[in-house]
């Protein structure tokens, strides 16, 4: 058989195998029975050999069906990875209608926008840092413009990303990645990935919270911050190859209108935060700035899939890697570098996986505090 279609890496997590295919930079979660069939298929010299291997356990029609399924599976897992080729585009400096400088302690960047609407793409999450550079030392200059319904993101006058205005989250993610590179003096190729999730630290380790939009992960993080924990990253959590730690993302927590009433009595000054109207589907938003943690990065000990359910009891239960990766991977960026893929699988192997259902603010805070103590003992 064609062994070039075989996964480059494989790792067992409980009852599931996670495979990584280099050509497509894709991860697949399979059960042991399927893996045995897959290995037998790949080790066979021909289709006839494979059918002969499994003929004692299946009918001819079943054997053929299994062979076709495996062939289709391998082909789908080996569709070439499309790394976006950024065309050369000349920056139109005449579109620099609005300019903001953002200062993070002693480091500053500048962003130029062509309109107030485009400014809303990234400014609200960084508004608390909008101030003049104290030493006129600008690490990087970004330009964000809208042209023919395409958002164009430049860094130091070079186009680094473009996306439809309806896919503005792509630009947001790309900008955060390059902001982090500037702040930590890294290249994009130094990161294992950026996860679509929010990370909380207790000052010793961190926990990554994931979940589909509306499941309550940002609200939960705001609750935890109000109860003494610290926000390491909201929405985009970056993992560095050098130490496999999650690094601080200075963006404020994005809070939807449905959580305003819940958080107002718990978060000092929450009622005074301005309401941001940008996307009709997301509705009114508030961006809650948080105090920077004591350190720039922390090891991660667990990933928790969050599900806010009104009037539910707080329930924290262990789940499989399959449950976690099916939520984590689709909206995250993961490096195509084989070294990083191997590191990612090894990193996952050190974590605990949970699903959290909650509605009560006090009990969920207590439950997360207990989990931090339990996991920190294993560090």
pLDDT digits (tens, 9 = 90+) for 23-63: 999 999 999 999 999 999 999 999 999 999 888 878 889 99
User: Using an 8 Å Cβ cutoff, are 15 and 29 in contact?
Assistant: no
For residue 21, what is the enclosing H or E element? Answer: strand 16-21
User: Using an 8 Å Cβ cutoff, are 140 and 184 in contact?
Assistant: no
For residue 27, list its beta bridge partners. 20
Q: Which residue has the tokens 């955060």?
A: 176
Asked if residue 202 and residue 178 are part of one domain, the reply reads: no
Domain of 180, in residue numbers: 93-185
> Do the domain assignments include residue 153?
yes
The total of structural domains in the chain comes to 3
Dihedral angle, C-alpha 273, 277, 283, 287, nearest 10 °: -30
Asked if residue 163 and residue 216 are part of one domain, the reply reads: no
Of the listed ranges 15-19, 155-159, 295-299, 309-313, the least confidently predicted one is: 309-313
> Do the domain assignments include residue 85?
no
Check whether 136 has a pLDDT greater than 70. Answer: no
Q: In this structure, what CATH number is given to the domain that contains residue 198?
A: 3.40.50
Cα atoms found within 13 Å of the Cα of residue 302, Cβ hemisphere only? 28
Asked if residue 366 and residue 219 are part of one domain, the reply reads: yes
Check whether 76 has a pLDDT greater than 80. Answer: yes
Give the tens place of pLDDT for each residue, 223-272: 999 999 999 999 999 999 999 999 999 999 999 998 999 999 999 999 99
Asked if residue 130 and residue 15 are part of one domain, the reply reads: no
Residue 164 to residue 188: CA distance in whole angstroms: 22
> Do the domain assignments include residue 87?
no
Asked if residue 119 and residue 63 are part of one domain, the reply reads: no
Asked if residue 255 and residue 331 are part of one domain, the reply reads: yes
User: Using an 8 Å Cβ cutoff, are 92 and 152 in contact?
Assistant: no
The pTM assigned to this predicted structure is 0.94
Residues 6+ apart with CB under 8 A from 1: 41, 42, 43, 44, 45, 46, 47, 50
Asked if residue 149 and residue 110 are part of one domain, the reply reads: yes
User: Using an 8 Å Cβ cutoff, are 218 and 235 in contact?
Assistant: yes
Asked if residue 199 and residue 163 are part of one domain, the reply reads: no
> Do the domain assignments include residue 88?
no
Asked if residue 157 and residue 201 are part of one domain, the reply reads: no
Asked if residue 155 and residue 133 are part of one domain, the reply reads: yes
**End position of a domain, from candidates 185, 206, 221:** 185
Asked if residue 372 and residue 267 are part of one domain, the reply reads: yes
Check whether 311 has a pLDDT greater than 80. Answer: yes
Predicted pLDDT of residue 156: 95
Of 185 and 379, the structure prediction assigns the larger pLDDT to 185
Asked if residue 340 and residue 227 are part of one domain, the reply reads: yes
């Amino acid at each position: 058989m064609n062994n070039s279609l075989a996964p480059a890496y494989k790792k067992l997590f409980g009852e599931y195998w996670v495979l990584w295919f280099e050509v497509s930079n894709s991860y697949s979660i399979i059960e042991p029975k399927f893996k045995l069939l897959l290995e037998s298929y790949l080790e066979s010299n021909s289709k006839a050999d494979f059918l002969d291997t499994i003929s004692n356990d299946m009918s001819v029609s079943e054997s053929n069906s299994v062979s076709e399924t495996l062939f289709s599976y391998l082909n789908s897992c080996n569709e070439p990875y499309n790394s976006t080729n950024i065309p050369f585009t000349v920056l139109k400096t005449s579109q620099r209608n609005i300019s903001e400088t953002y200062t993070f302690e002693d480091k500053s960047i500048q962003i130029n926008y062509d309109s107030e609407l485009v400014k809303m793409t990234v400014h609200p999450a960084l508004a608390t840092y909008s101030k003049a550079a104290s030493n006129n030392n600008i690490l990087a200059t970004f330009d964000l413009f809208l042209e023919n319904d395409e958002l164009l993101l430049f860094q130091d006058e070079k186009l680094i990303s473009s996306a439809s205005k309806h896919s503005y989250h792509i630009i947001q993610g790309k900008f955060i990645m390059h902001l982090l590179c500037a702040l930590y003096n890294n290249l994009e190729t130094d990161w294992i990935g950026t996860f679509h999730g929010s990370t909380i630290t207790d000052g010793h380790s961190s926990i990554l919270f994931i979940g589909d939009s509306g499941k309550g992960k940002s609200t939960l993080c705001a609750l935890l911050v109000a109860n003494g924990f610290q926000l390491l990253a909201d929405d985009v959590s970056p993992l560095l190859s050098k130490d496999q730690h999650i690094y601080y993302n200075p963006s404020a927590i994005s809070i939807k209108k449905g959580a305003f009433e819940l958080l107002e009595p718990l978060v000092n000054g929450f009622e005074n935060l301005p309401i941001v109207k940008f996307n009709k589907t997301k509705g009114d938003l508030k961006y809650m700035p948080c105090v920077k943690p004591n350190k720039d990065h922390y090891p991660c000990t667990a990933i928790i899939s969050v599900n806010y359910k009104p009037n539910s009891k707080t329930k924290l239960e262990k789940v499989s890697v399959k449950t976690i990766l099916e939520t984590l991977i689709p909206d995250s960026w993961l490096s195509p570098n084989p070294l990083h893929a191997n590191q990612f699988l090894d990193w996952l192997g050190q974590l605990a996986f949970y699903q959290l259902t909650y509605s009560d603010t006090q009990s969920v805070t207590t439950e997360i505090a207990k989990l931090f103590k339990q996991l920190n003992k294993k560090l």
